[in-house]
Amino acid sequence: MKSLRKPDTLTNYNERSYSCYQLESGEKAWRNPSFFSTIKIVIESYLQKELMTEYLRKKIKYDKLYYIKTHLSENKM
């Protein structure tokens, strides 16, 4: 008797659910849609951290410049 299950195609990967057992028993992790979601979350959080670090670095730099500028102008008066 033929199986009624669809063959694996790129279009129906998101319809499949994967257990840890399936992945450990030879399923390729990249075929698991949640694998891509996890990678996306990790990348987004890394980029968000990098952007925040760069923002804070620039903010500290400009705050120091502003502080110096305001104190120099006060001392001239």
Q: What is the DSSP string of 6-71?
A: PPP-GGGGGG----HHHHHTT--GGG-HHHHHHHHHHHHHHHHHHHHHHHHHHHHHHHHHHHHHHH
Residue 29, in any domain of the structure: yes
Residue 46, in any domain of the structure: yes
Residue 2, in any domain of the structure: no
Among candidates 37, 40, 36, 33, which has minimal Cα distance to 10?
Answer: 33
Residue 39, in any domain of the structure: yes
Examine the pLDDT at 55 and tell me if it is beyond 90: yes
Let me know: does 14 contact 33? Beta carbons within 8 Å. yes
Range of the domain at 29: 14-76
Residue 35, in any domain of the structure: yes
Residue 54, in any domain of the structure: yes
Question: How confident is residue 50, by pLDDT bands cut at 50, 70 and 90?
Answer: very high
Q: What tens digit of pLDDT does each residue of 4-24 get?
A: 555 554 444 444 555 555 555
Q: What is the number of domains present in the chain?
A: 1
